């Protein structure tokens, strides 16, 4: 097998006092293969990719690419997509492609073909004249990928290409890159989606600058074989049951799956008795492990049993009024409809999920409910306050975590906490106590003086959640709270969310991780601005047909069904197309 790029005993330090970012690392990237790179936040993945791309020098060891030292390699044959890809927001989609084609020296004669293929795969053909700045988060990510792929390279380095990309597009992206490997291209794919790592030929697992595992992913997954079980539980008490299970010595990790819990047991441990967890008439069924289980096991961390944040949180008083209500929310931007007649209600103490492909209208719906965008038609309420008549009260009753990092990057962590607690009306001793509490809960102590923009992604997200909950609101809006964060931090977040919900908080959440969708009490699937399905996770899975359908199967099946229906309507010339369908 032909090695296209490699690192040998590579060490890299950024500060003499800090531990090395990479410490004696070996990696081999081979022609025609998918090489996966995984690890928690701050493991050193991006540093390794930048070394391979020849963007900086190692302190010790050798880094080679395309037969030369990486810093002297032929750049035109290396495709590199950094984590934060630089799009030109004031240029249209097609102009961005053209610009990158110029930079990469793609001959004019090849552009039409290349662009057509990329626009089709990213589903951006309809939007090629839209300014990049007006795309949804995931659409921007896909355009970034398209720009990185305008010219087929020999070595392709992708640094978390799937962040914020919906499950259907991630599958398509995977298939497209896979087909490149069939032409002999060598691919390095760094990812926090471990279902992708599972499909790689070889996976490297990096932690704190050291390599914990290298080899076929199946070998690692095999290490936790026989330790994964599922238990059907009463839907109403699943959060409590999971908390009890995680509190048991024998349980290393656990998650909710619709109305069941899925546990990973410690080595040679007996599962806790169902009766002890408060479950009657149910037995454990063994299930196959996934790569993510092995990852969590190797890093020694699973979901924490309970949330210190939730323990200190007030109990939200009971109320007959829904905590969140959307009544026909519609948003038009010119002739384009971004959200069309969205309706749902969320009672106190429940999690409601908005799922849907990139550009479906999820963030637009969030922003209308938070009072950041004025609906074109329709209204809603938050904690009983109508958005039209009591907007200020509604706003004080909610905590909002935006999809894109929305804190003050050039203020320190401490200043952000001061500022946001002040905005939400906290003063004096209450304010100090709230700041102290979240600093402890989210482990922010050592970063208090650092500028928010410089934090590792997992800490940025923790800080954003901290800022949203300090005033103990009864309603939380979380727009992709776990996007790009590693599986360990994702578990920590869900333990907090579950704990808050038990205190009576109502949560509206969106995610592209289908396993997280399972935590929701109910879900609305949004596609091209409209709600195409609504129900519990188990109901949606049942509608996908297959007995063992996953949330991802359900997502895909429901979208295909909706496409087919739109096609039939169009063919019958029945209902005129709604605004937004054709553009
Ligand atoms: N200011 C604007 N002008 C024009 N179109 C806009 C504007 N803001 C959003 N849109 C469009 O509205 C649609 C919905 O965007 P939205 O951000 O709600 O999607 P989303 O479901 O949150 O997607 P993602 O999963 O990628 O975050 C997209 O087609 C987007 O380009
Ligand atoms: Mg969004």
CA–centroid distance, 513 to ligand 2, in Å, is 13
CA–centroid distance, 505 to ligand 2, in Å, is 22
The neighbour count for residue 146, using CB atoms within 10 Å, is: 22
Both tokens of residue 374? 């004025």
Print burial letters for 436-448: b (CB count within 10 Å at least 16), e (below 16): ebbbebbebeebe
Give yes or no: residues 267 and 348 share one domain: no
122 lines ligand 1 (CB under 6 A): no
Q: What is the pLDDT of residue 574?
A: 59
Give yes or no: residues 374 and 239 share one domain: no
Give yes or no: residues 465 and 332 share one domain: no
356 lines ligand 1 (CB under 6 A): yes
Q: Which atom of ligand 1 is nearest to the CA of 364?
A: 18
Q: What is the pLDDT of residue 581?
A: 43
Task: Give the integer Cα–Cα distance in Å for 361 and 22.
Answer: 40
137 lines ligand 1 (CB under 6 A): yes
pLDDT in tens, 174-183: 888 898 899 8
Ligand nearest to C-alpha 163: 1
CA–centroid distance, 373 to ligand 2, in Å, is 14
Give yes or no: residues 391 and 402 share one domain: no
Residue 288, CA atoms < 13 Å, CB-side half-sphere: 6
The answer for residues whose C-beta is within 8 angstroms of residue 405's C-beta and 6 or more apart is 452, 453, 460, 464
Both tokens of residue 482? 């776990």
The CATH number assigned to the domain holding 99 equals: 3.40.50.300
Q: Let me know if residue 208 belongs to a domain.
A: yes
Q: Give, for ligand 1, the residue of 123, 134, 138, 579 to mutate: max count of ligand atoms closer than 8 Å to Cβ.
A: 134
Residues of the chain under the 50 pLDDT cut: 577-583
Q: Let me know if residue 548 belongs to a domain.
A: yes
Q: Let me know if residue 300 belongs to a domain.
A: no
580 lines ligand 1 (CB under 6 A): no
What's CA 179's distance to the chain center, in Å? 25
Burial of residue 81, with CB atoms counted within 10 A of its CB: 0-12 exposed, 13-18 middle, 19 or more buried: buried
Q: Let me know if residue 462 belongs to a domain.
A: yes
CA-atom Rg of the chain in angstroms: 24
Q: Give, for ligand 1, the residue of 166, 355, 364, 529 to mutate: max count of ligand atoms closer than 8 Å to Cβ.
A: 364
Q: Let me know if residue 578 belongs to a domain.
A: no
Domain tally, the chain? 4
Give yes or no: residues 146 and 8 share one domain: yes
Q: Give, for ligand 1, the residue of 87, 165, 338 to mutate: max count of ligand atoms closer than 8 Å to Cβ.
A: 338
Counts of helices then strands in the chain (DSSP H, E): 19, 24
Calculate the alpha carbon distances from 375 to 328, 338, 521 in Å. Answer: 9, 11, 26
511 lines ligand 1 (CB under 6 A): no
Q: What is the pLDDT of residue 305?
A: 87
455 lines ligand 1 (CB under 6 A): no
Both tokens of residue 458? 């997992």
Task: Give the integer Cα–Cα distance in Å for 499 and 349.
Answer: 10
Task: Give the integer Cα–Cα distance in Å for 384 and 368.
Answer: 16
Query: Containing domain of residue 138, as a range?
Result: 3-221
Give yes or no: residues 147 and 282 share one domain: no
pTM for this entry: 0.91
Task: Give the integer Cα–Cα distance in Å for 517 and 512.
Answer: 8
Give yes or no: residues 123 and 202 share one domain: yes
Give yes or no: residues 167 and 239 share one domain: no
């Amino acid at each position: 097998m032909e090695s296209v790029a490699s690192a040998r005993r590579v060490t890299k330090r950024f500060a003499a006092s800090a531990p090395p970012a990479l410490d004696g690392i070996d990696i081999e990237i081979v022609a025609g293969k998918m090489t996966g790179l995984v690890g928690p936040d701050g493991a050193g993945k991006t540093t390794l990719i930048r070394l391979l791309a020849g963007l900086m020098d190692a302190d010790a060891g050798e880094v080679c690419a395309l037969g030369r030292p990486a810093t002297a390699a032929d750049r035109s044959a290396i495709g590199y997509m950094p984590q934060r890809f630089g799009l030109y927001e004031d240029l249209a989609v097609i102009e961005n492609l053209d610009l990158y084609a110029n930079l990469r020296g793609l001959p004019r004669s090849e552009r039409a073909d290349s662009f057509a293929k990329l626009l089709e795969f990213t589903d951006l053909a309809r939007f090629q004249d839209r300014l990049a700045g007006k795309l949804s988060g995931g659409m921007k990510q896909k355009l970034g990928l398209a720009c990185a792929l305008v010219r087929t390279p020999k070595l392709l380095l992708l640094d978390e290409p799937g962040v914020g990309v919906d499950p259907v597009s991630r599958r398509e992206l995977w298939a497209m890159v896979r087909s490149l490997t069939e032409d002999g291209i060598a691919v390095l794919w760094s990812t926090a989606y471990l279902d992708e790592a599972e499909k790689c030929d070889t996976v490297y697992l990096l932690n704190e600058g050291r390599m914990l595992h290298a080899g076929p992913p199946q070998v690692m997954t095999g290490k936790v074989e026989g330790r994964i079980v599922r238990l059907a539980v009463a839907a109403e008490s699943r959060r409590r049951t999971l908390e009890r299970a995680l509190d048991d010595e024998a349980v290393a990790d656990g998650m909710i799956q619709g109305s069941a819990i899925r546990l990973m047991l410690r080595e040679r441990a007996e599962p806790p008795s169902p009766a002890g967890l408060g479950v009657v008439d149910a037995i454990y069924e063994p299930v196959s492990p996934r790569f993510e289980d092995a990852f969590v096991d190797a890093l020694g961390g699973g979901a924490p049993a309970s949330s210190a944040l939730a323990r200190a949180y007030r109990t939200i008083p009971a109320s007959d009024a829904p905590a969140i209500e959307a009544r026909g929310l519609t948003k038009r931007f010119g002739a384009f409809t971004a959200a069309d007649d969205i309706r749902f209600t969320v009672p106190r103490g429940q999690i409601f999920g908005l799922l849907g492909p990139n550009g479906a209208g999820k963030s637009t719906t969030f922003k209308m409910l938070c009072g950041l965008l004025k609906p074109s038609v329709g209204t809603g309420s938050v904690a009983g306050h109508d958005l039209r008549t009591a907007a200020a009260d509604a706003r004080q009753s909610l905590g909002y975590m935006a999809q894109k990092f929305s804190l003050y990057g050039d203020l320190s962590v401490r200043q952000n906490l001061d500022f946001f607690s002040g905005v939400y009306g906290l003063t004096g001793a209450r304010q100090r106590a709230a700041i102290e509490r979240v600093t402890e809960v989210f482990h922010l102590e050592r970063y208090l003086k650092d500028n928010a923009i410089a934090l590792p992604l997992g800490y940025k997200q923790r800080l954003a959640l901290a800022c949203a909950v300090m005033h103990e609101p009864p309603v939380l809006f979380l727009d992709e709270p776990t996007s790009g964060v590693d599986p360990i931090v994702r578990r920590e977040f869900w333990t907090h969310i579950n704990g808050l919900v038990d205190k009576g908080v109502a949560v509206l959440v969106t995610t592209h991780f289908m396993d997280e969708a399972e935590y929701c009490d109910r879900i609305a699937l949004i596609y091209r601005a409209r709600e195409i399905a609504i129900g519990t996770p188990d109901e949606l899975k049942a509608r996908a047909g297959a007995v063992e359908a996953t949330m991802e199967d359900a997502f895909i099946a429901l979208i295909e069904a909706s496409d087919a229906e739109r096609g039939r309507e169009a063919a019958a010339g029945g209902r005129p197309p709604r605004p937004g369908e054709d553009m």
